[in-house]
Structure 1
Amino acid sequence: MKFNDTLTTLIKQSLEVGATPALMGEPGIGKSSFVEGLAYSMGTRAFTLPCNQLADKADLTGARLVLYTKDDGTQSYKQVFYPHQVIQECIDYAETNPREWPILFLDEINRTTSDVTSGALTLVTLRRMGYVELPKNVRIIVAGNDRGNVTSLDEASLSRFAIFHVEPDAATLMSVLGDNMNPWVKTVLTQYPGLIFQKSTPEAIVADGQDDDDNGNVTMADLFDGGEEMNQLTTPRTIDNLSKWLNTADPQQLAQYLATPIQIGDRETSLLNEAIEAYVGDTMFTTQLVATIAQDLASNAGSVQQNRVNVPKPNCYQSLKDAMT
């Protein structure tokens, strides 16, 4: 499902009936940004707890010895479990703003240890963490990745959620970034919206030979049994970072990068390709973007204008202008 108005409506309806939406999809496609925008549209705040930063269940509930008085008047100590700081902040905000539906967003819920995932599921089920109960107006949304190095959720756990499998949407990204999106990036996404999410696919042949059931060629991915590799992805997050870099880059320097040949493994390419691949990987998006930049630089040779974002002058601009030294 795309990140659009339909998804927003469905998530709001899930929250209204007391369900817990789970946004499952690839990393970096905009799940966190969507939840923040959703909270803004609901006139409230989202409190994000990245579960992948937690090591074990104790990180969700900090233990503390508290002095208390027994029925017979004697004093003793008991161990009390306090919620994580983010959870407590959400609770405090909900109690202060009872007319709002603040969102407690448990991000990367299955990209952590099974112990942490179990603790997070307890929060969803019992609506309490430690000795503190969640206020009735708190709404919970979780997000995670449905593939890769993740902790799988069993059927009993999955039944607690309304699961929405989400995917990035080029139109949504362009509307969110607006004028801040680099013109070259916008051109590519307008012409090829399907390139909003791409994975690098190293296909360099590292061995050859004839076999009966194939052509005998072995790629790098085949050689290493197709395991997870450190290859950059093309996602809304990485496209945003690339767009910011291109907005500040000198077009003349980009032209120089384009004219500088380099070799990456067995692949002959340009320095511009390598620079862009650092942000969005060796994907079809990179290929189309380099072609777009090359065409634009060629047509504007001799009168290259920088693609920069206009920003307001800082408050100290006039005083700096008037300075004598």
Structure 2
Amino acid sequence: MPVLPVNKQHQAAFQQVIDQKTKPLGALGALEALALQVALIQQTDTPQLTKPHVAVFAADHGLTAEGVSAYPADVTYQMVENFRAGGAAINVFCRQNGLQLVVCDVGVRGIFEENTPDFVKFKVAHGTQNMRHQPAMTTDEAEAAMDAGRLVVDGLHHRGCNILGFGEMGIGNTSSASLLMHRLLQLPLDQCVGRGTGLTDDQLIHKLAILTDVARRYESLTQPMDLLAAMGGFELAAIAGGMLRAAEYGMVILVDGFIATAALLVAHALEPAVLNYCVFTHQSDEAGHRLMLAHLNARPLLSLGLRLGEGTGCALAYPLVQAAVAMLNQMASFASAGVSVKE
């Protein structure tokens, strides 16, 4: 089903509720805009956040054979095991702030044990192909990965989740994100390519040269799905599909950093109304993310120099969404508190 734009029929009424809280007009800044956005998504001035989750999608990239990452490809598998053991940053921050974590293997090289409630497998393949020599995915594989994201969101919606952050794990995925950004935003590639997991100057030069070669190979492609299949990754496709499904359900979408926002660029190219449901949790320290946010006219909640991924920005920013909703539900109005309004 299509993603419907948020109904703004009651926007003025919701804004009036916010303006009548016991504070100077606009004194809570970005929290007021956030409260209005959640109210519009849920179509009520008493919104509720239920069963908050972060969904992390993991997959490997064939392009890592070209030396575009500071870490070996094996780290993807090892980090998924770390997620499952509860030892990664995203595990810590989800526990700290009351979110549940679900991890999905959508394309990791290697075999994991059976599914559990917080770990599911919709493996499309054992990593993408080396996009320098052939498309990363077939169109069918890209669509299957998007369906994996949709299925995960279906399950979380069934559990009662109405606010969902998207994270990723995939050594080499900043290369895919940079290439998609380059083509979808029509920006010079050198403005889109950053250090990823911590490349040196020489490694960054090498990465840019490889990605320039890849970009030339697929320069005739223009359609979002074709670009995703040629230069994307299974986890990016899953996030794009998951975001679209979450918007269809009217969920609040927490957008993480550079990789997740690149996936959103694909989703937005397919269904522009998805932006209505997106809360941008932070501005990443990865080169290019600021330009992505500017293109989307997005105002991130945090700027902490993060460049980890995993959905960590979502987990860290979630308390701010809670605060915005609590303000709407619990803060007194001038009338109810008997406080005089400004003359």
| Greater relative CO (CA pairs within 8 A, separation 6+) | 2
TM range (shorter): under 0.3
- Going by fraction, where is helix more abundant, 1 or 2? 2
Q: Give the structure with higher Rg (CA).
A: 1
- Going by fraction, where is strand more abundant, 1 or 2? 1
| TM-score of the two chains, using structure 2 as the length reference | 0.24
| TM-score of the two chains, using structure 1 as the length reference | 0.25
